[in-house]
Amino acid sequence: MTLKSVIKEIELHKKQPNLNFSLKEKTEVFTQKLFYTLFDTQTPVEENLILLESHFDELVNLACWQVKKPCKKIWELYVVKLPSILKKLNLDAEATVSCDPASLSIEEVYMAYPGFYAIAIYRLAHELHNIGFPMVPRLMTEYAHRLTGVDINPGAKIGNSFFIDHATGVVIGETAIIEDHVKIYQGVTLGALFVAKNLQKTKRHPTIKNNVTIYANATILGGDTVIGENSIIGGNAWVTSSIPANSKVFHKPEIKIKTATNVS
């Protein structure tokens, strides 16, 4: 096979006309600049909002594949939501300081906690998802996923004062609902019982009510599964049905200890 024929074959199989990876790269730049605009004291808000609008226009040109869809109006709808998003994120940071005895200051939470960063990017992406901007919210949360190990779909609904401790390995599915003052630990999955394309429009992921704590590596599955308020889900628990309020659910492992015997 000649080089010319190789090129022809590759071009033949590049079938996706909208697959422009600069959209991914530009989304990551936009996401980081947005985060700094909200939190970094050395970043001027007014100046950066002007820059962000310019970046956003580039994303619109790359991601708005339907010509008749009025994507140009999305920035105007989105930017007015930033103050309320910031208020929610400040509550998340305060919840982290209140819950984690290892936190030395609230500044540490903003700068060093991967769980907070993942929540921040989720909240910023979620509003774009609600407005209906294609692809970009998913790329934003995937960027946070790559940096933190936390995979939160931008379609999930999460209430106030949310805390993810240690963060790595957390998965929160698209139709999950999490109410206020919920704490989860590393390795937790809020997932679906079944994976099938015809379930796309159905609620596939669980609902977590107020003041629930879910410990490390617990798995909670199913759109009809509701974890009642004030409940505690222990580490490694596997839950596929609803739990009433004020419950404690624990996985009880069988531990065997084998010791070597002395041979004379």
pLDDT in tens, 63-91: 876 655 556 689 999 999 999 999 999 99
Return d(Cα 49, Cα 44) in angstroms, integer: 9
Name the token pair of 159: 């209430």
Name the token pair of 158: 């999460």
- Secondary structure letter of residue 72 according to DSSP: G
Q: Are the C-beta atoms of 141 and 154 separated by less than 8 Å?
A: yes
Mean pLDDT of 158-182: 97
pLDDT over 60 (residue 121): yes
Residue 69 sits at φ, ψ, to 5 deg, of -75, 125
pLDDT over 90 (residue 254): no
pLDDT over 70 (residue 262): no
Residues 18-69 have pLDDT tens digits of 889 999 999 999 999 999 999 999 999 999 999 999 999 999 988 876 655 5
- Secondary structure letter of residue 241 according to DSSP: S
Predicted local confidence at residue 260, as pLDDT: 73
pTM comes to: 0.91
Return d(Cα 42, Cα 55) in angstroms, integer: 20
pLDDT over 60 (residue 264): no
Question: Across the chain, what does the average pLDDT equal?
Answer: 93
Residues 183-225 have pLDDT tens digits of 999 999 999 998 777 778 899 999 999 999 999 999 999 999 9
Mean pLDDT of 143-169: 97
Predicted local confidence at residue 240, as pLDDT: 97
